[in-house]
Amino acid sequence: MALQNYHSAFQNFPLGVRNQNFGFGSSWWVGLLPYLEYGALYELYDHEIASCGFTPLNPALTADVKMMVMLCPSSPLNERVNGVLLPGVNMTMPHYAGISGATNTGTVSGSRNSFSDDLFPASSNSMCCLPHLDGRVSATGVLVPNRTVTIRDITDGTSNTIVVGEISSTVEKSGVQIRVDAGNPSGWATGTVNIGTPPLLLGPGGFTPAFPVFNLTTVRYPIGTKDGGLPGIHTDGGPNNPLISAHSGGAQCLLTDGSVRFLSENMNLETLKLLCTRNDGKVLGEY
C-alpha cells in the first residue's frame, strides 16, 4: 500500500534510484519512508547533502534503525551489516529489490544451469556497469534509474507488472556463498552515482562505463538461480542479481496493484520477464 499511497500523493511512483551532486543519491526506499511508518526517520534524512545516500554525514544513515518492513523473516542473511563508509553503524540490508525491468539472457556458458537466449526484446537496456559487474540495466520496469513512472505508463496493467521482488538468500561463487541482496554492501538508502536513464545510463560527467545501481535489479535469469559466476551477478551491486529466497521453490513478488504473489522458480523465463516489463503489450502465459 505504501507505493500506492505515494502515487496518490505525487501522481507517480518514486524514482528507482537517483544521483546527487556527482555522488550516490537515494534509493526508492527513502521516498517511501513516510508511508512505511518511518516518518521521523524521513525527517532526519538530508536530501541535499552531497552523496546523500552514501555518507556518514547524513544523520538518517547513522540512526542505526532496524527496518523490519525491509526484511523477510525466513532469510538466513544478517539483517544489518556495517555499511560502506559507515564503520560501526549497522545498516539494514533490504531483502527486497525494486524491479527496473528485464533483459535478454544473452549467451551463457559454463553455468551449472541451462540457459538459452530467449531473445527477449531489450530495447531500453544499457550495458552496465564497471567491467567486473558485466551486466545490463533496463528501464522497462516501474522503479528505474533517474526517472519516475506513472500508472498511465504501465499499459500492461498494474496486476500484470512486478514492482518489487525478493532477494533474500545467497548464491554460490567459487565454492563460497555470497550475498547478492540489492542494497549490499551500502544499505537501504543508496541509489546511484550515474546520470541518465537506460538506454543512456552514464557515469558522472557522462563517461562510460556506468557505476553500480543499488537497491534495484534487472531480471535476466530464472528465479532461484544460484550460480554467482554468471554475468551481472555480484555481491557489490550486481545489476542482474536474481530473485531468490530461502523459501522452497520460489520467491515473493509484489505486483504494482499491491497484491503479492509467490512465483515458482520453474516458471517460464519469458513470462517472468514480461511481468517485469510495464509496457510490452504481450499476453502472459500461465504462471
User: Which bin fits 145, alpha (ψ -120 to 50), beta or left (φ > 0)?
Assistant: beta
pLDDT for the residue numbered 210 = 82
pLDDT for the residue numbered 214 = 96
pLDDT for the residue numbered 119 = 66
Q: What is the C-alpha to C-alpha distance for residues 87 and 123, in angstroms, rounded to an integer?
A: 41
In a domain, residue 287? The reply is no
Q: Pairing between strand 260-264 and 250-255?
A: antiparallel
pLDDT for the residue numbered 6 = 97
Q: Is-contact 153 7, C-beta < 8 A?
A: no
pLDDT for the residue numbered 114 = 61
Task: Tell me the backbone φ, ψ of residue 99, rounded to 5 degrees.
Answer: -95, 115
- Using one digit for the tens of pLDDT, what is the confidence trace for 148-206? 999 999 999 999 999 999 999 999 999 999 999 999 988 899 999 999 999 999 998 88
In a domain, residue 285? The reply is no
176: which residues sit within 8 A by CB, 6+ positions away? none
Decide: helix, strand or coil at residue 32: helix
In a domain, residue 87? The reply is yes
In a domain, residue 286? The reply is no
pLDDT for the residue numbered 80 = 83
In a domain, residue 20? The reply is yes
In a domain, residue 15? The reply is yes
Positions in the chain short of pLDDT 50: none
Q: How many domains, in total, are found in the chain?
A: 1
pLDDT for the residue numbered 143 = 99
In a domain, residue 191? The reply is yes
Range of the domain at 215: 2-275
pLDDT for the residue numbered 54 = 85
Beta strands in 233-283 (DSSP E): 250-255, 260-264
Bond preceding residue 231 cis, omega within 30 of 0? no
State how far Cα 239 lies from the chain centre: 8
Longest dimension (CA), the chain: 50
pLDDT for the residue numbered 128 = 81
In a domain, residue 98? The reply is yes
